[in-house]
Amino acid sequence: MPDRFVRIALGVTLGLLIAFVAQPYILAFLYSADAPRSVTARGDLSAAEKTTVDLFARASPSVVHVFAQAAAQGRALMEPDDEFGQGPGGGEQQQGSGTQTGTGFVWDAAGHVVTNNHVVEAATKGGGTISVRLASGEVVGARVVGTAPSYDLAVLQLGRVAKMPPPLAVGTSADLKVGQSAFAIGNPFGLDHTLTTGVISALQRRLPTQEGRELSGVIQTDAAINPGNSGGPLLDSAGRLIGVNTAIFSPSGASAGIGFAVPVDVVNRVVPDLIKNGRVRNPGIGIIAGQEATAARLGIDGVVVLRVLQGSPAAQAGLRGVDPRTGDIGDIIVGANGRPVHRLSDLTAVVEEAGLDRPVTLLVERDGRVRTVRLNTADVAQTRL
C-alpha cells in the first residue's frame, strides 16, 4: 500500500513538473497573436483633450519658424544640419551654420510676423538674411520692419507667399489669473510646431532687457519653453495670444519649468508702432538714472537723477542731476502717481502705464526736502527713461 501511494505521488509530481515546463510552449501555441489585433474602441476624447486639440488646430497654422543668418556663409550649405545644436549658454544657434533660430507668429493679414528681437538681432546688425518656414512647409524670405530691444520684440514682413496664414487671435493680459491654463507653441531645438502645456505660475515678474530697462508685468509659466521657443506665442485656453515667450531660467539651458513671456497688452501697444514707424515710441521724462547698486550702497531709497536731457520734460520741470564738478547729488525720485519708487523699474512701470504725452506727478527729494513735480511724458526712445 505505501509503495502504491509513493508511485502515485511521484507520478503526480512528475506530471506537474512537465506541465510547468511546457506551459510557455502551450500558451505560445494556443494564444500567439500572429495576425494584426483588432482595435479597441476608446470612446470620445475628454472635454479637456478636445479643447487642447482644437486649440492647436486653430493656432498652429499661424505659428512660423524663423531662421536668421548673421552673414552670408556659402560654406554653411555644405555642412550637415544640426537642428539640435545649441549656441553658448543653451542658445538657439545651429552648430556650424551661424543661423539663429526661433519662433514667430502671424500678426495680421498683411503678412507681418512678430518674434523676439534677440532672434533676429545678429542678422539685423550684420547685414544678414532672414527666412521663415510656414506651417505648410513653404519657406519665404522676410525683412525686418522694426525692432524694440527694450521689449525684446521685432516685427518681420513676409515676402510673397502662396497662401497667407491666418493672424493669431489676440487676447488680453490684464485679467490673467495665476493657475489658469497656458499653452506654448514653438520650435524647440528645431522641432517644428511643438505644443507644451502648463499654467500661469506668476504675474508681475520683472525681466531685464536691453537699453538699461527692466520690463515689468512679465508672465511666468511652467509650460515647457526651450531654445527655439523664443518669439512664439503663449496662449490661453481660448487659443488667444496672452504673451510672447522670451526667456527661461535654467542652469542647464533647457526647460526647468520657469519660463517668461512679454504680456500681450505690451505687445499690442508696441507692435503697431513698429509697423507704422519702424521703432517704438518709448514714453519717458528725459533722465539718465544712476546705478541702483551704487544708490543702495549710499543708503538711497529711490531713483537718483544722474543727468537731465536738454529740452526734455524733466529739464522743463527743473529736475537736477548730479553735479559733474563736485559729485553732489541733485534730485532723487521717490514717488510717481501716488506709488512709491524704490528703483528704476518702479518709475518705468508708472511712466509706461501713463503712455505718451500724458501727465505724471513725481515726488522728488532734494537736500532732504520732498516736493511735488508735475510734467508730461514724451518720446525719449534713445534714453533710459
Neighbours of 204 (CB within 10 A): 12
Nearest to 285 by CA among 352, 330, 335: 352
Q: For residues 232 and 245, what is the distance between their CA atoms, to the nearest angstrom? A: 5
Among candidate residues 60, 112, 152, 173, the one labeled active-site is 152
Q: Quick check: is 152 catalytic?
A: yes
Chain position carrying cell 520732498: 370
Q: Which long-range contacts (CB under 8 A, 24 or more apart) does 138-146 make?
A: 138/162, 142/66, 142/113, 144/120, 145/112, 145/274, 145/275, 145/278, 146/273, 146/274, 146/275, 146/277, 146/278, 146/279, 146/280
The length of the chain in residues reads 385
230 is catalytic: yes
Core vs surface per residue 353-373: b (16+ CB within 10 A) or e: ebebeeebebbbbeeeeeeeb
**Rounded-to-integer distance, Cα 211 and Cα 292, Å:** 15
Residue 207: strand pairing partners: 215
**What's the first-to-final CA gap in the chain, in angstroms?**
109
**Do 231 and 104 contact (CB within 8 A), yes or no?**
yes
DSSP 8-state secondary structure symbol assigned to residue 41: P
Nearest residue to 182 via CA among 133, 137, 150, 222: 222
CA gyration radius, the chain: 30
Catalytic-labelled residue, pool 112, 118, 236, 331: 118
Question: Is the CB of residue 133 less than 8 Å from the CB of residue 113?
Answer: no
**Is 118 a known active-site residue?**
yes
* Whole-number Å distance between alpha carbons of 72 and 131: 13
Of the candidates 230, 255, 312, 345, the residue annotated as catalytic is 230
Catalytic residues, by residue number, are 118, 152, 230
